[in-house]
Each structure stands twice: as C-alpha cells, then as structure tokens.
C-alpha cells in the first residue's frame, strides 16, 4: 500500500490550526492539535510545526498502523486518533469490523480493515459521529465543538 502519511498530515494540520488556549477545551493549551494534557512537559506555545509532525508520525500514524491501512481508512484512523485518542480510534475500528475491542490493533483487525470497501469506510465515519454524540452526552460542555467536529468528519468523507 502507498503511504498517505503526508496527505494525512496536511489534513490534520489544516483542521487543528495554530495556538489556542480555550478554557472549554479539556486538552488545555493546544498548538497544531498537540495539547498540554497529553504532553505536559512540552512547551506548547513554542512548539514548531516540525516537532508536531514528529509527534503525529510516531504517536498517531504509527500507532494506528497507517501504512498498513487502506486508502481513506488510514486518514480516518489517524485523524480520529488525534482528535479522540488512539485507543478510542482502534476500539471503534474493532467494533466496526467485528473483532475484540481491546484497543490493540492486531493482525485480525488489520486483515478485516484491509477488506473494507469505500462505503464501509463511510459507515465507519458515521460511527465516529455517534462516538462524538456519546461523548457530548457525557460532557455537555463539549457541545461547543459539535459543529466543527461534524464538519471535520464531512471533510474526511469527501476524501474517501
């Protein structure tokens, strides 16, 4: 499979933007989508784009085995890992393909993921919206992000 790492990274950086410190954001201080909550020892305000790229490659793309996923699902998975967490992304994929939801992306889940059609990848994105809805039901303070999250998934769907 051809690596879509660079295209995926461009999408994520476009979605995440530059420095913010929104008090409503449970991740806290954020730049390029890298948040203080996940990286407490990192100087977020002075984080460079190149540093963010390194973090995304190692901790997100490689963690969801982006190079082993089919076109479209690779972007959907890395984007979900960035926005909702690696374990959450893997468990949602496991639920979608019918494997054990343990948060470990093993050979059985990968094999089933590789067999997904573009339509099935779109259904996976719909499940992602459902995951956002469940999250907002648990924490209504996150409703302020609903529109952006939903449009993010629509932007992903346009690339499938």
Sign of the alpha-carbon torsion through 116, 105, 101, 156: negative
What mean pLDDT value characterizes the chain?
A: 94
| pLDDT greater than 90 at residue 75 | yes
Q: What is the CATH number of the domain that holds 43?
A: 1.20.141.10
> CA 142 to CA 26: how far, in whole Å?
9
> CA 18 to CA 39: how far, in whole Å?
16
Q: Which of 17, 11, 152 is nearest to 84 (CA)?
A: 152
Q: Which of 147, 7, 145 is nearest to 71 (CA)?
A: 7
Q: What pLDDT, on the 0 to 100 scale, is given for residue 3? A: 83
Q: What pLDDT, on the 0 to 100 scale, is given for residue 1? A: 47
Q: What pLDDT, on the 0 to 100 scale, is given for residue 2? A: 55
Contact 116, 70 (CB under 8 A): yes
pLDDT tens per residue across span 15-34: 998 999 999 888 899 999 99
Contact 66, 146 (CB under 8 A): no
Q: Which two tokens stand for residue 94?
A: 């496991």
pLDDT tens per residue across span 80-124: 999 999 999 999 999 999 999 999 999 999 999 999 999 999 999
Q: Please count the structural domains in the chain.
A: 1
- Could you tell me the residue range of the domain that residue 64 belongs to? 5-157
pLDDT tens per residue across span 5-15: 999 999 999 99
pTM, two decimal places: 0.92
């Amino acid at each position: 499979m051809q690596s879509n790492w660079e295209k995926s990274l461009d999408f994520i950086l476009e979605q995440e933007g530059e420095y913010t410190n929104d008090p409503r954001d449970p991740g806290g201080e954020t730049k390029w989508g890298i948040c203080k909550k996940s990286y407490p020892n990192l100087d977020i305000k002075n984080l460079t784009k190149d540093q963010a790229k390194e973090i995304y490659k190692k901790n997100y793309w490689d963690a969801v085995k982006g190079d082993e996923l089919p076109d479209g699902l690779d972007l959907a998975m890395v984007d979900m890992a960035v926005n909702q967490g690696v374990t959450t992304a893997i468990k949602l994929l496991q639920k979608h393909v019918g494997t054990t939801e343990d948060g470990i992306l093993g050979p059985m889940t990968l094999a089933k993921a590789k067999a997904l059609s573009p339509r099935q990848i779109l259904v996976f994105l719909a499940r992602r919206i459902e995951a956002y809805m469940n999250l907002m039901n648990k924490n209504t303070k996150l409703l302020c992000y609903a529109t952006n999250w939903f449009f993010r998934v629509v932007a992903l769907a346009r690339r499938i």
